[in-house]
Amino acid sequence: MKIGYFGINSGPLTSPQQMTTLLQCAEGAGFESVWTGEHVVVVDPQPPPSPVQPALPFVDTVATLAFAAGVTSKLKLGSGIILLAQRNPVVLAKELSSIDVLSGGRLIFGVGVGYVKEEFEVIGVPYRQRGARVSEHIEAIRALWTQERPEFEGRFTKITGVQQRPMPVQSPHPPIIIGGGSKPAYRRAVTQGDGWYGFALTEEQTAAGIEGLREAGREADRESDFDRLEISITPRDELDADRIKRYEDLGVQRLILLARPVAGEGEPLDAVRRFIEQTGETLIRA
């Protein structure tokens, strides 16, 4: 089982010194990957379904992944997830391919649709177009990452007569991981992705998500594409060896963990560092 850590760019531990400490601690503890979250803006005051309080800081995903590339050497660097409809795909392709080059091929490109309407309105992206934009933007980015003379024509983006170098180190491109628990997200994962990411799920919810992916594969006549998906989840439950085995039996290949409070630790940095170290000792190296 691959073990990742979620949340390197949000919350109280977002100074350069704190982020460096946590990233290097995760690498030293044997974590396979680290992951960002994303909200370009947060609605104030907080309305449902917004998941975060307005004052919670979110360092930009692209900036964070570039920073992480510079202070680590082995960790895979995942966006968990980029709200792709809110991004210009041509600019984002350039930014992320640059991170893949500078990190030596360690980028994991996680994308999702998003569900807080106000976040789209302030950016100027029609909320009802978000799914269509994500599906198209994935293919526009794939064209820039893989074609010697990139050509793409869609509803929102047209690419012709240009070059964008350097291309990513990874071939054919960095893994594209699709987040979300809706039928369109399952279909997008099977037809456009290399993997699926489910966030804050129980074992039962994970099983339901994997069945949703299988069903999407059957409906799209793409069952073989389901078989090649890498399944990642952030578990809601506390982990031990038995529960990890149950996730493996469900078909999960990667668990991306959220830090939980550790008894006896007062400062946030100490608590998270201890969580990372204990995870390394009890779950990764055990």
Task: Determine the angle formed by the axes of helices 268-279 and 16-28, rounding to 10 degrees.
Answer: 20
C-alpha 192/C-alpha 229 separation (Å) is 10
Level-2 CATH architecture, domain 2-284: Alpha-Beta Barrel (3.20)
Mean pLDDT of 11-21: 94
Residue appearing with tokens 């050509």: 151
pLDDT of 163 higher than 60: yes
Q: Can you give the pLDDT at residue 258? A: 94
As given in the structure block, the two tokens for residue 90 are 């041509």
Residue 266: pLDDT above 80?
no
Mean pLDDT of the chain: 95
Quote the pLDDT of residue 224: 85
Q: Which two tokens stand for residue 191?
A: 């037809």
Q: Across residues 247-259, what is the average pLDDT? A: 96
Q: What is the pLDDT of residues 50-99, one digit of tens each?
A: 999 999 999 999 999 999 999 999 999 999 999 999 999 999 999 999 99
Q: Cβ contacts of residue 71 below 8 Å, gap of 6+?
A: 19, 20, 23, 24
Token pair recorded at residue 227? 């078989």
For residue 264, is pLDDT > 90? no
Average pLDDT over residues 22-36: 98
Work out the widest C-alpha separation in the chain, in whole angstroms: 60
Domains in the chain: boundaries = 2-284
**Distance from C-alpha of 152 to C-alpha of 145, rounded to nearest angstrom:** 12
18-22, 148-152, 257-261: least confidently modelled range = 257-261
pLDDT at 286: 76
Residue 267's pLDDT band (boundaries 50, 70, 90)? Answer: confident
Q: Report residue 109's pLDDT band, with 50, 70 and 90 as the boundaries.
A: very high
